Structure 1
């Protein structure tokens, strides 16, 4: 067991280094390293039980994705988000299930739909990371992130109902009731947990306790809902969104920095560990599918990868324009240009959620029979994840350059304008303090010079349409004054976000910078 733990740690570190050096998606490197580790003599292969994957990996992965999303921007882009998250997930699941049944009829509709639901939701993280680095329009990133916020819940609710139907006979009425219980129970449980945790966060003062509370939140949302046959996915996502919108302001800046840093590290480790563990299973999966010919496996893999890619591409190019014409609030309708829809359709890599879901398929059905072709479904999912991660993410930057997609001037300078607004707010606060005290103290004058220098640099950067932030730090001998100015900056930032003048991403980025400033001023306490 010790050797397995060491091998996992080495694989995670090595995969991170290689992916950064080679420019290959992390997940692909992790799986290949895990597969190589699985071939080492004397190294045991850890068995991944479905319950372990479902209850250990899935809740924190879902919580992280939902917590760092922006529900307001999701609402602003409601039509494309809902179309991608609901209609596209159902269309992909149906198309994948039909393709699987055409190749392997004995799988049965219920198991085929479970497989289709598992591979239906794409993972936006890998694609949005590339889009942000390449300078794509923020609307693309927003739609992808909003889609990722909802599509996991839709897909996993469909998956749970399909798995429960394998080997049993369910009427349409009972299936409908089950769906209502899944959705309504999941959202209700999530709201209850979100409200309770928000109440607790408002009464906790030390940072480590906030970290621990945030760590257990996805599990206390997911597990009870799952045991009560409600949607643990929707419960976790709902609790995370509630925390993101209601609970973040209750936490002191130092605790926010600690908690958000912890979650970024944890998410990276969980994703890496999941893919490495999957890679270690690859030799065993290959052995299990030895009964199938290479031609059969290749045909099935090619057909399913093609279907998942083409369905998404067709939806983005042809269905989204139709949805944009539906009656709706004007601000909720986004008519995306064809070039943006093409990129949206291409950004469909499958990721850790698909793996965690497919690995949670039970070995036995509710009737006690073996789950139809479970090992084959795991193998095909692994192929689809790797093929889409490598085949769709790596050419993404070149596709953006080819289509000449880039953000407009207002979007490029959004962060600079927000930072300048916070600096102006701090200077107004200084002027107000000087007027109240009827004198200029040495600390006030020094601080005014610091902020004026920062404002001048931001003005120059805006004139040059480049990005950056002044690195000048406030003197540390006047902590109370600097903290007051930080509050003024933070209030100005909140007003900008509340009026919709900046995006949630810019708001979070600058808010974290202000939190770091306050953490340094307080000495990390």
Structure 2
């Protein structure tokens, strides 16, 4: 099966599963795609076991040849992040900048430490010898909230603008920070480097700020170019070139490609759309990137489910799966609790801590990082734990998150009405 055949099959599956979901199931798109992919993977594994000559083995072999890490980190992430950033209200994001940057930097670092040390100690209690350095590698790859999963869930939930801005901004920025921390953790675990906390923090800062500055600069160039013409086809092409160019140039300059793509998308989605595009161009640009976002998101989630056929889930690690899921949720609660409490005090944002915690979704990005772990370490065990946490996050948190947000929103509205009535300020 050639790469073109595999891509064609994937698009057919995305369209077919999407139609069935919209027509009958009405699940969040990501959940439906992961379920379909997981069921398909389970079916292939069953066929290979029961009917070895059925062709299931060759299908699994074709899937195993797909470089999931390269597909996500080198090809798709730039467009997904740019499309997501294009939808964010930059003014709202500026007002929540402190919360976003704290969660995307110190929050990721704190979560890495909590999850890493917790998994190391818990593993000892379960009789599993997982070295601390590799436990911290897992903590680093699982701590960033996944922009693909979070942005898909945010679209389906009825959040306040404050919570939406924080969740979106954190998801867009913390993956770039997470990749830097993960790379440093792998270098230490594999014996290729030493742990220097201040140097690591400096590297995170340089790569993050450098990526943001580069993305904003290239975004300004693209806006200037679109302002000089009025041709929607060329202007859409400019945004496409900007997404790919910012990401690839940032990688070449050794700054954060994900943050460069986000910075460019934020600027174009705000100043570019408002000041440099006609109404016709604006509709085409937003429509084009909305389609890119939907189709690529669906493809990534479907691939995430299908990877089950390649990776498998060894039941001997079940105790570690449950431990890791609990640790990831606990670390997320520790990280977001101060911001949730502050929002409750300042804005009467009921349930803010719960929303921020349950909205810390993990998905394809974590799995892509886990797949890049070198064979010299406990790669299979790290992959197994990562996949279990990701499946829980997408299928359990992703499925319940929009409904939870809507339920919380209704309770807030009822509470506001009751308070108004008790104060004598309510009028029909």
TM-score, structure 2 normalization = 0.79
- Give yes or no for the alignment of 1:30 onto 2:33: yes
Does the Cα contact within 8 Å between 2:116 and 2:139 map onto a contact in 1? Answer: yes
How much does 1:59 deviate? 0.8
- Give yes or no for the alignment of 1:308 onto 2:328: yes
| Aligned twin of 2:194 | 170
Cα distance in 1 for residues equivalent to 2:376 and 2:224: 43
- Give yes or no for the alignment of 1:158 onto 2:181: yes
How much does 1:221 deviate? 1.0
Give the 5 Å matches for 1:317-332: 317=337, 319-320=338-339
Does the Cα contact within 8 Å between 1:350 and 1:388 map onto a contact in 2? Answer: yes
Does the Cα contact within 8 Å between 1:187 and 1:235 map onto a contact in 2? Answer: yes
How much does 1:36 deviate? 4.6
Give the 5 Å matches for 1:392-407: 392-396=397-401, 397=403, 400-401=406-407, 404-406=410-412
Does the Cα contact within 8 Å between 1:57 and 1:356 map onto a contact in 2? Answer: no
Note the alpha carbon deviations across 1:393-412, whole angstroms, 9 max, x for none. 333425753784345999xx
- Give yes or no for the alignment of 1:391 onto 2:396: yes
Cα distance in 2 for residues equivalent to 1:69 and 1:60: 15
- Give yes or no for the alignment of 1:380 onto 2:403: no
How much does 1:57 deviate? 1.3
- Give yes or no for the alignment of 1:148 onto 2:154: no
Cα distance in 2 for residues equivalent to 1:215 and 1:222: 11
RMSD: 3.2
Give the 5 Å matches for 1:29-428: 29-38=32-41, 39=44, 41=56, 42-43=58-59, 44-45=62-63, 46-48=65-67, 50-102=69-121, 103=123, 105-109=129-133, 111-122=134-145, 123-132=149-158, 136-165=159-188, 166-170=190-194, 172=196, 174-248=199-273, 249-286=275-312, 290=314, 294=315, 296-317=316-337, 319-320=338-339, 334-359=346-371, 361=372, 364=374, 370-396=375-401, 397=403, 400-401=406-407, 404-406=410-412
Q: Secondary structure at the match of 2:81?
A: helix
Judging changes above 3 Å, is the alpha-carbon distance between structure 1 residues 233 and 163 closer, same or farther for their aligned structure 2 residues? farther
Judging changes above 3 Å, is the alpha-carbon distance between structure 1 residues 337 and 314 closer, same or farther for their aligned structure 2 residues? farther
Cα distance in 2 for residues equivalent to 1:67 and 1:384: 29
The structure with the larger Rg is: 1
Judging changes above 3 Å, is the alpha-carbon distance between structure 1 residues 160 and 198 closer, same or farther for their aligned structure 2 residues? farther
Cα distance in 2 for residues equivalent to 1:124 and 1:175: 27
Cα distance in 2 for residues equivalent to 1:36 and 1:30: 10
Cα distance in 2 for residues equivalent to 1:193 and 1:161: 28
Note the alpha carbon deviations across 1:215-241, whole angstroms, 9 max, x for none. 121221111221322111221111112
How much does 1:60 deviate? 0.9
Judging changes above 3 Å, is the alpha-carbon distance between structure 1 residues 82 and 185 closer, same or farther for their aligned structure 2 residues? closer
Q: Secondary structure at the match of 1:395?
A: helix
| Aligned twin of 1:458 | none
Cα distance in 2 for residues equivalent to 1:320 and 1:202: 39
| Aligned twin of 1:520 | none
| Aligned twin of 1:7 | 9
Q: Which runs of 4+ in 1 moved over 6 A?
A: none
Does the Cα contact within 8 Å between 1:53 and 1:356 map onto a contact in 2? Answer: yes
Does the Cα contact within 8 Å between 1:121 and 1:151 map onto a contact in 2? Answer: yes
Cα distance in 2 for residues equivalent to 1:281 and 1:65: 24
Q: Secondary structure at the match of 1:59?
A: helix
Larger RCO: Structure 1 or Structure 2 (Cα < 8 Å, ≥ 6 residues apart)?
2
How much does 1:209 deviate? 1.5
How much does 1:141 deviate? 2.2
Note the alpha carbon deviations across 1:249-287, whole angstroms, 9 max, x for none. 21122122112111111111212222222333212211x
Does the Cα contact within 8 Å between 1:115 and 1:377 map onto a contact in 2? Answer: yes
Instruction: Report how many residues are paired.
Output: 387
TM-score, structure 1 normalization = 0.66
Cα distance in 1 for residues equivalent to 2:210 and 2:259: 9
Give the 5 Å matches for 1:461-472: none
Cα distance in 1 for residues equivalent to 2:104 and 2:354: 17
Does the Cα contact within 8 Å between 2:304 and 2:364 map onto a contact in 1? Answer: no
Q: Where does structure 1 lack aligned partners over 5 or more consecutive residues?
A: 326-332, 365-369, 411-463, 466-525
Cα distance in 2 for residues equivalent to 1:221 and 1:378: 30
Q: Secondary structure at the match of 1:350?
A: coil
Q: Judge which range, 298-307 or 27-36, deviates more.
A: 27-36
Note the alpha carbon deviations across 1:108-160, whole angstroms, 9 max, x for none. 52x4434323322334224323322xxx4333323322332332333233223
